[in-house]
Amino acid sequence: MTNERVYIAGHTGMVGAALLRKLILTGIPQKNILTRTREQLDLLSQQEVLRFLFEERPNQVYIAAAKVGGIQANNTKPAEFIYQNLVIQINLIHASFIAGVKKLIFLGSSCIYPRQSRQPISEEQLLSGQLEPTNEPYAIAKIAGIKLCESYNRQYGATHGIDYRSLMPTNLYGPGDTYDLESSHVIPALIRRFHEAKVQKIENVTLWGTGTARREFLYVEDLAEACVFVMNLDSNSYKSQTEPMRSHLNVGWGDDLTIAQLADLIADAVGYKGKINFDSKNPDGTPRKLLQTNRLQELGWKPKVQLKDGLKRTYVDYLESVSQ
């Protein structure tokens, strides 16, 4: 494994940066880990991506590059979310095949599943119902990424020896997250809201929704570990938990909590002592998203970082980001 040449697409993002740290810890020399910033390589350009992968010839590719955001960002910029994610995926997966990349991990999202999925959500529920309207364009792009990997495996797996795998993580958080209130997800947004309220001595904070929606959260370092684990699984083991047209695996913690409970935990981590209110005029999003993760766990992987500990680490990261 230490002789592999590995390309991480999106290494400056939260997931990509965690992957970079994890790969270095596994013993891969840093010179064998390929990274490019957005200025160095435009993933929206098919020509640039093809040229890069032909020149560098990595053995493994991790696709952690994506346009991501919370409910508000998805609602206000749906065209950007579906277009940019589709193009990034198409360029990277197709160019990887053309350049002879044998192993690839595509990272999706739990929002690929129907809004009214049975809980916990198994991999079989993909394409079994209507998606959550607030992030449907993003979800459709991610579903397309799964089907791209499946289709290349089905058509070229035997003849070209490729093995492109897909992982669907639950809601992620951790160091390197985006704390911008306009585009961030719930945990970084609440960390910033509560921190600013604490500093400004604001006695009440009002949050979107009813607080009753349930969510599952996974620390990003756990996801990075899962990615490396799955990338290096032997083919027979991976196939034992997947099928040619259900080739993705869920990655999650295995338990969930309400947004109100989450808000209390974050307020505690931040040290905010004020009152937390909810505005039911704004949407909750999907009522519940808890992933069934028994397939990945049967292969030998389990998450390690408890939510309470992960929130404390993430708050430290936020404080470092605002002090720079």
- Residue for token digits 């991610």? 142
In 3-state terms, what secondary structure has residue 122? Answer: coil
Query: How high is the pLDDT of residue 287?
Result: 80
Q: Which is catalytic among the residues 138, 164, 179, 315?
A: 138
Q: How far apart are CA 66 and CA 88, in angstroms?
A: 7
Query: How high is the pLDDT of residue 1?
Result: 52
Q: What tokens does 102 get? A: 């044998």
How many other C-beta atoms are found inside a 10 Å radius of the C-beta of residue 92? Answer: 27
**Residue 35, H or E segment:** none
How many other C-beta atoms are found inside a 10 Å radius of the C-beta of residue 147? Answer: 16
Query: How high is the pLDDT of residue 127?
Result: 97
Query: From residue 148, how far is each of 46, 96, 109, 283 by CA, in Å?
Result: 16, 12, 15, 32
| Strands 60-63 and 6-9, sheet pairing | parallel
Q: How far apart are CA 68 and CA 297, in angstroms?
A: 27
List the one residue out of 148, 278, 155 whose CA is nearest residue 205: 278
Query: How high is the pLDDT of residue 75?
Result: 84
Query: How high is the pLDDT of residue 108?
Result: 95
Domains plus CATH for the chain?
6-323 (3.40.50.720)
Per-residue pLDDT of the chain (324 residues; tens, 9 = 90+): 567 899 999 999 999 999 999 999 999 999 999 999 999 999 999 999 999 999 999 999 999 999 887 777 788 899 999 999 999 999 999 999 999 999 999 999 999 999 889 999 999 999 999 998 888 999 999 999 999 999 999 999 999 999 999 999 999 999 999 898 776 788 999 999 999 999 999 999 999 899 999 999 999 999 999 999 999 999 999 999 999 999 999 999 999 999 999 999 999 999 999 999 999 988 787 788 899 999 999 999 999 999 999 999 999 999 999 987
Can you give the pTM of this predicted structure?
A: 0.94
How many other C-beta atoms are found inside a 10 Å radius of the C-beta of residue 64? Answer: 23
**Does the annotation count 138 as an active-site position?**
yes
Q: Which residues contact 17 (CB under 8 A, 6 or more apart)?
A: 11, 175, 176
Vertex 244 angle, CA 85 and 299, to 5°:
90
Q: Which residues contact 65 (CB under 8 A, 6 or more apart)?
A: 9, 10, 13, 16, 43, 88, 92
